[in-house]
Structure 1
């Protein structure tokens, strides 16, 4: 095969009509409503971030941390609008992986999918580890005891195995195996509960609100707001979760764009309200960088002079993290389902239970892998690499919108990104800018992951690609037909 032919094969796109037709074959059950889709995205986004990141961001921006949340939301909005357009145009389970396959070709799609595997698997493992810590906080504040370190921390962090992390992953797995609609209903309840806990925080914190605590409003100036904005941006990652449910939404072309944009609006309102209540209830100089996880609890204790509101907040964190684990594991299995259907990963990830209409083996393998990571490995810097993987995928989605507008202007679009092409261009620039602000260790981990991914692609995925095999059959048939 010539070099030109090889390059053409690497960047061969999968026709949008074929992708949409495969997604409409009904292997998965179309049972999810607009509310459930929105709650999946809110569930994946509204997790440990607000409980931890506020304590890290306030010392950088002061009371202007409220504006930092808005800046981060606008940054996320550029990518959210691109996701909304592509989700409404290509409503399938693969999310940004499928969008890249339709617009930039197989190799780029594989890289995008490989990034998502890093983002989903490692991030949910890290979140599961945090679940045990918040569960201990809740037990301590409510019942006065904590789980022994030996069974609540991984090796290297003072323990032998992180049992709570295994428990939360297994609970999510059991829900996912029961079916998408059952998982969505439980997730909706958990999301509403954790929003309720944060509303409770705001109500209590506003009783101690003092206007003087907001002065000076921006002690570090615009530079401080930008620094805090970069810090809190990662609290918005997850708004794209609804796009992985493209084949299980009842009315995907209408509901997916609404769920993606709606979840971003809901999360932004909650973040701004919590941020304003926190800096109004406690002077910003009293937020300590080393006590990030306790910041919100300290605000409540100052407001009430009692410890019970902190127990309620810990309960909210436990529910919040469980919801993130469920939502992200769901997204992981659906992306692998789409990649398996294309032949890029083994076919076992595509097999669907005829009874529950869910990919059972896929769910079991993903759950086992995540539980093993969370139980036995201190993730450390590896967890930070999920941010690069996410931003890289976001950037590809923004590029994909521009490519598809040029190559397939005739496609029916239920949502169009406004101010095109300015909006997706800004999305690409903001994603690139945030990638380069991350530390060198994180960037090197990401590059190493990409090298491993390329090795896997050329040794396995390229040879098993259904698109490649079909193209080879067509070329052979054409050659034979033209032979004398």
Structure 2
């Protein structure tokens, strides 16, 4: 609480209902962008290439290596159509992210967008969903590192015992490879964002290269007859498979967390988000077409690691498994690096607003990164990945992610109606149809998730509400303003131009 503010000093705060609806003006967010508790700003060093690779790195993961065995039996040869449909569904939210990222170029992503449009209450819920999406999902992804490390070592006749390579509950005690990957990513992020971005770019290039290598080999065994009949399971099967593969697109929003480290965020953030969607969708469709062309669709039923199996059968070379195992480890490392980066930047924004402890908002003068926050988040994620059976909590990340997507679509509609004067570097096409469809698509996918996942998510939200009342409500900087100061702030900040921070 800022005791320099008379209202804060006297303990006068708005009612709960009024506080939950208090919005933070966009001009205020822009003026505070790059600021921190330590007074050191973030370093603007990212161009459109690095921003695009952040989103591709967070999206293009290990799922494509195994998802065909689960989704092809649902759609048959039309699985590539399912990837197109899922990509279009993700695109509905991606274009909304692109508009908001250009309009509100700050590090808070959908948390900040919600704060500017729907108020503090919805912003906190969104921020807490992002904690679930980023921190828990990165731990869940890292858990798979042990399996792929063992597959790599198997080529040399070596392996790690289950006790140190499997997650707790699956025969493991401490998942050492998972913890090592998270810690390495944490150390890299602490050293500097620019170095992390270039290493991520190199890893993404390798990941894409491995998948293109698969396509090149698979097309040598291409049989057009494998696509007949195209829809053996009907349109319903294609839709079911589209829902299954939709979650392979989650992660495109990672670039939006780099709003304060982009050289030209208003121009480059929308470009990076859209370009990453084009790259990921193209690769997914190309891999699906190559795989079906190489093997009949019935072959995929029950087949694990289908891509590796196809390459092994075509080439007869055992080193293929080694190449893909290494690729899978790199895919995990890239996801951990980019998603951990996004988590620290979101928590920096929440700390700046008083919704999280100040330690998350301190930026090192030497490295230009939130060192303390990165260490805390990194150690916490490493411990979760190595010691905690994540189970249903990891599954609940789907709801949190979809909820955040839905809020961004709503934010676009709100600002188009209430702030049509703002200059937008990117505009959602076919407004308002696109954001409405994006919201409905997210709601549909959320409804179709299992009851156990919803229960777990509900418990997570109850914990978040308790933290808000225990910390956020009492320390919110926007809520610390008197009614008069808040009105003056919102009046001065109606301009899209930055304004001086009123409560620093």
SS of the equivalent of 2:425 reads coil
1:207, CA displacement in angstroms?
A: 1.1
Give the match for residue 398 of structure 2. Answer: 387
Aligned match for 1:356, one of 346, 356, 367 = 367
Give the match for residue 151 of structure 1. Answer: 164
Contact 1:201 / 1:313 at 8 angstroms: preserved in 2?
A: no
SS of the equivalent of 1:470 reads coil
Give the match for residue 204 of structure 1. Answer: 217
Encode CA deviations 1:185-209: one digit per residue, 9 max, x unaligned.
0000000000000001111111111
Contact 2:13 / 2:482 at 8 angstroms: preserved in 1?
A: no
Contact 1:198 / 1:316 at 8 angstroms: preserved in 2?
A: no
Encode CA deviations 1:40-86: one digit per residue, 9 max, x unaligned.
00000000121121211111001110000000000000100000000
1:322, CA displacement in angstroms?
A: 0.6
Summarize the Cα distance change of 1:466–1:4 in structure 2 as closer, same or farther, 3 Å threshold: closer
Contact 2:12 / 2:482 at 8 angstroms: preserved in 1?
A: no
Give the match for residue 69 of structure 1. Answer: 83
1:3, CA displacement in angstroms?
A: 12
The whole-number CA distance in structure 2 between the counterparts of 1:90 and 1:3 is: 27
Encode CA deviations 1:79-127: one digit per residue, 9 max, x unaligned.
0000000000000000000000000000000000000001111110011
Aligned match for 1:92, one of 106, 128, 146 = 106
Aligned match for 1:112, one of 101, 123, 126 = 126
The whole-number CA distance in structure 1 between the counterparts of 2:415 and 2:243 is: 29
2:340 matches 1:326: no
Worse-superposed segment, 355-364 or 153-162:
153-162
What runs of 5+ residues in structure 1 fail to find an aligned partner? 478-484
Aligned match for 2:60, one of 42, 46, 50 = 46
Worse-superposed segment, 435-444 or 153-162:
153-162
1:170, CA displacement in angstroms?
A: 0.8
Summarize the Cα distance change of 1:59–1:24 in structure 2 as closer, same or farther, 3 Å threshold: same
Contact 2:103 / 2:424 at 8 angstroms: preserved in 1?
A: yes
Worse-superposed segment, 442-451 or 113-122:
442-451
Encode CA deviations 1:349-371: one digit per residue, 9 max, x unaligned.
00000011000110001011101
The whole-number CA distance in structure 2 between the counterparts of 1:212 and 1:422 is: 39
1:24, CA displacement in angstroms?
A: 4.9
1:231, CA displacement in angstroms?
A: 0.4
Aligned match for 2:286, one of 256, 266, 273 = 273
Worse-superposed segment, 90-99 or 377-386:
377-386
Give the match for residue 229 of structure 2. Answer: 216
SS of the equivalent of 2:24 reads coil
The whole-number CA distance in structure 2 between the counterparts of 1:433 and 1:11 is: 27
Summarize the Cα distance change of 1:281–1:475 in structure 2 as closer, same or farther, 3 Å threshold: closer
1:144, CA displacement in angstroms?
A: 2.2
Contact 2:13 / 2:481 at 8 angstroms: preserved in 1?
A: no
2:182 matches 1:172: no
With structure 2 as the length reference, what TM-score do the two structures score? 0.92
The whole-number CA distance in structure 2 between the counterparts of 1:363 and 1:383 is: 21
2:147 matches 1:136: no
Contact 1:194 / 1:319 at 8 angstroms: preserved in 2?
A: yes
1:458, CA displacement in angstroms?
A: 1.5
2:330 matches 1:316: no
Give the match for residue 255 of structure 1. Answer: 268
Encode CA deviations 1:296-321: one digit per residue, 9 max, x unaligned.
11111121122222221111111111
Give the match for residue 412 of structure 1. Answer: 423
Encode CA deviations 1:260-285: one digit per residue, 9 max, x unaligned.
00000000000001111111111111
The whole-number CA distance in structure 2 between the counterparts of 1:83 and 1:156 is: 38
The whole-number CA distance in structure 1 between the counterparts of 2:183 and 2:299 is: 39
Give the match for residue 428 of structure 1. Answer: 439
The whole-number CA distance in structure 2 between the counterparts of 1:474 and 1:71 is: 48
1:381, CA displacement in angstroms?
A: 2.0
Worse-superposed segment, 149-158 or 202-211:
149-158
Give the match for residue 19 of structure 2. Answer: 9
SS of the equivalent of 2:45 reads coil
The whole-number CA distance in structure 2 between the counterparts of 1:281 and 1:246 is: 42
With structure 1 as the length reference, what TM-score do the two structures score? 0.95
2:108 matches 1:122: no
Give the match for residue 6 of structure 2. Answer: none
Give the match for residue 469 of structure 1. Answer: 480
Give the match for residue 82 of structure 1. Answer: 96
Give the match for residue 462 of structure 2. Answer: 451
1:288, CA displacement in angstroms?
A: 2.8
The whole-number CA distance in structure 2 between the counterparts of 1:158 and 1:13 is: 48
2:200 matches 1:187: yes
Give the match for residue 448 of structure 2. Answer: 437
The whole-number CA distance in structure 2 between the counterparts of 1:44 and 1:200 is: 21
Higher helix share: 1
How many pairs does the alignment contain?
A: 474
